[in-house]
Amino acid sequence: MMTDRESNLASDFARYPSLEGRVAFVSGGATGLGAEFVSQLAAQKAKVAFVDLDEEAGAKLATSIAERGDPEPFFQVADVRDIPALQQAIGRASEKLGPITVLVNNAANDTRRKVAEIDPDLWDESMAVNVRHHFFAAQAVWPTMKAAGGGSIINLGSISAHVDFVDMPVYITAKAGIEGLTRTLAREMGPDGIRVNCVIPGWIMTPRQLEKWVGDAEREKILSVQSLPEFLYPADVARMMLWLAADDSRLATGQTWVVDGGWL
Query: Pairing state of beta strands 47-52 and 74-77?
Result: parallel
- Residue in 25, 171, 233, 257 annotated catalytic: 171
Q: Which residues contact 99 (CB under 8 A, 6 or more apart)?
A: 23, 144, 145, 147, 148
Q: Which residues contact 136 (CB under 8 A, 6 or more apart)?
A: 83, 86, 87
Q: Which residues contact 115 (CB under 8 A, 6 or more apart)?
A: 169
Q: Which residues pair with 223 in a beta bridge?
A: none
Active site residue 16: no
Query: Pairing state of beta strands 151-156 and 100-105?
Result: parallel
Q: Hey, how many other C-beta atoms are within 10 angstroms of the C-beta on 6? A: 16
Q: Is 60 helix (H, G, I), strand (E, B) or coil?
A: helix
Q: Phi, psi at residue 110, to the nearest 5°?
A: -105, 30
- Rounded CA gap, 6 and 46, in Å? 25
Catalytic positions, written as ranges: 171
